[in-house]
Amino acid sequence: MVTLLRHRGFALIWAAGLFSSVASWLLLTGLPIYVFGVTGSALTTSAVFLVELLCGITLGSFAGALADRHDRFRLMSGVAVLQAAVVVPLLGQPDHHLWVISLVAGAQAVLTQTFDSARNAVLPRLVEPAHLVRANSVIALNMSVGRLIGGSLGGFAITRDGTRYLAVGATVAFVITAALIAAGRRAAHHAATESTTPDRTSSFLTAWRHGLRAMLRNRSVRMTIVSVALGGIAQGLFVVLFVVFVSRVLHADGTLTGVLRGVQAIGGVAGGLIIGMLGARLSPRLLMSLGATTFALISLVIWNGPAVTRRPEWYIGLFILVGAPGVAYASGAFAQIQQSVPDTELGRAFGVYYAIFNASQGLGMAAAGLLGDVLNVVLVLNVQAALYLASGAVAYLGLRSVPQQRAAVRQRATVDVG
């Protein structure tokens, strides 16, 4: 991991991702808290999440296509500037204009997906193929650290002055992100042996359709997406029913709910560090299958644990543990796509990845809403764990006969500086 961070271009992209993650979690945490505080309505609050999800589903694959048509460094820097600009309306007092908050949340969802797709697509050009798993784990580490910092500060930033401090914090973080990306581009440009110009010979929609067809023809991507979709449904079930589980089964209040969601990031940080040290020894397929399977087994212990004990410290420990396999799975999935897709199509591949995950998560949330009050919540959550087991099985069996396609690494000696 230290070796990776000695690469100036990678280190700057890593730092930029950290600030971007902090800003995103500030908004993801703070905006729903603010909306609920103003309206007192769970339905109105859920609308913020719904807008974010729908925007990610409908526009996610288009966002990824942008990363294949433009200089990825410039795109990331420009997106970060746009994210800072989009937050500006929150500097006012949108108490009676909650539609403004919904628009901000939706725009941020699309812009974040664009940034993440471009970052994941440019990563193979910054590191050697053998270090991709390790590099992805270090990037995934940002998500956990950003969740710890941004998620914690998001609640504190909401004051009687409304969203002003929240907006200031997010704006500053996004501006720093843009500056770091610009510096990273210069460092990568200096290290590059040649440059690569994105293909703009076809129209945007034609290139987008071509990219989708290419993804469907690629067995490695298909199997990865199926595994991710199963995990997305499971995640959607968790998002809704986790709160119900804490309340009805553990007989605890919202305080424990917040603590359990927060400490999961601690495990994510630990997992990122461990995989950063050992990642080169594990294949992406093995990381995906082990990550999903371990996640499922720990989940089964959590959901069925109340039959033995309801002690909060027991569940705090389990939720710390469950954060690590999540990072392992994500690192493996990203590396699997990066090793299987040509550089010119990586942006669209990750756009499809995020769109499918969001759609699957939405399906899981809808199923949880329908089943949560009809069936026993522990029964449904056991199904959630079974879906993670299925996700791991698909990764292990479906990717076993897939040869490592090296089309994606032919240009990795160069850097996308346009």
Per-residue model confidence as pLDDT tens digits over 84-102: 999 998 887 655 577 888 8
- Reference 113, options 67, 166, 152, 70; nearest CA is 67
Q: Which residues contact 45 (CB under 8 A, 6 or more apart)?
A: 32, 35, 36, 39
Residues 307 and 237 both lie in one domain: yes
Q: Mean pLDDT in the chain?
A: 83
Q: Is residue 237 part of a domain?
A: yes
Is 36 inside a domain boundary? yes
The count of structural domains within the chain is 2
Domain co-membership, 116 together with 265: no
Same domain, 139 and 244: no
CATH number at residue 303: 1.20.1250.20
Burial of 14 (0-12, 13-18, 19+ CB in 10 A): buried
> What is the per-residue pLDDT for 16?
93
Q: What is the mean pLDDT of residues 371-394?
A: 93
Instruction: Reply yes or no on whether the pLDDT at 220 is more than 50.
Output: yes
Structural domain includes residue 292: yes
pLDDT value of position 341: 87
Does 404 map to a domain?
no
60 and 150 together in one domain: yes
Q: Does 239 share its domain with 366?
A: yes
Domain end (from 136, 163, 198): 198
pLDDT for res 197: 54
Distance CA 256, CA 261 (A): 9
Percentage of residues in the chain having pLDDT higher than 70: 86
Q: Which domain holds residue 58?
A: 1-198
Task: Tell me how crowded residue 59 is: count the other CB atoms within 10 A of its CB.
Answer: 19
Asked which of 3-12, 375-384, 406-415 is least confident by mean pLDDT, the reply is 406-415
Answer yes or no: is pLDDT of 30 > 60: yes
Q: Is the pLDDT of residue 195 over 70?
A: no
Please give the pLDDT value at position 77: 94
Percent of the chain with pLDDT over 90: 33
Using a 10 angstrom Cβ sphere, with 0-12 exposed, 13-18 middle and 19 or more buried, the burial of residue 245 is: buried
- Looking at residue 193, its pLDDT comes to 41
70 and 40 share a domain? yes
Does 152 score more than 80 pLDDT? no
192 and 242 within one domain? no
- Residue 185: its pLDDT value, please? 81
Q: Residue 19 above 90 pLDDT? A: yes
pTM of the model: 0.81
User: How confident is the model over 344-370, as a mean pLDDT?
Assistant: 87
228 found inside a domain: yes
* Inside any domain, residue 417: no
Whether 215 is covered by a domain: the verdict is yes
Which pLDDT score, from 0 to 100, does residue 207 have? 65
Q: How far is CA 399 from the centre of its chain?
A: 22
What residues are paired with 195 via a beta bridge?
415
Residues 218 and 280 in one domain: yes
Name the region of 251 (left: φ>0; alpha: ψ -120 to 50; beta: rest): left
Q: Verify that 152 and 221 share a domain, yes or no.
A: no
Is residue 405 domain-resident? no
Is the model more confident about 405 or about 77?
77
- pLDDT of residue 247 exceeding 60, the answer is yes
pLDDT at 21: 93
**Residue 417: what pLDDT?**
35
Are 376 and 328 in a shared domain? yes
Residue 195, SS3 per DSSP = strand
* Residues 161, 248 share a domain: no
* Confidence check: pLDDT of 280 > 70: no
pLDDT (mean) for 5-9: 76
Q: How confident is the model at residue 404 (pLDDT cuts 50, 70, 90)?
A: low
> Mean pLDDT over residues 355-375, rounded?
87
| Residue 276: pLDDT over 80 | no
- Say yes or no to pLDDT of 403 above 60: no
Residue 192 has pLDDT above 50, yes or no: no
Per-residue pLDDT at 338 exceeds 80:
yes
φ/ψ of residue 415, rounded to 5: -125, 135
Q: Which of 141, 175, 198 is the last residue of a domain?
A: 198
Cβ–Cβ under 8 Å, residues 68 and 345:
yes
Supply the pLDDT for residue 163: 83
- Residue 369 pLDDT class (50, 70, 90 cuts): confident
Q: Do residues 172 and 275 both lie within one domain?
A: no
What's the pLDDT at 1? 60
Least confident of 47-51, 167-171, 364-368: 47-51
Q: What is the pLDDT of residue 142?
A: 82
| Three-class secondary structure of residue 29 per DSSP | helix
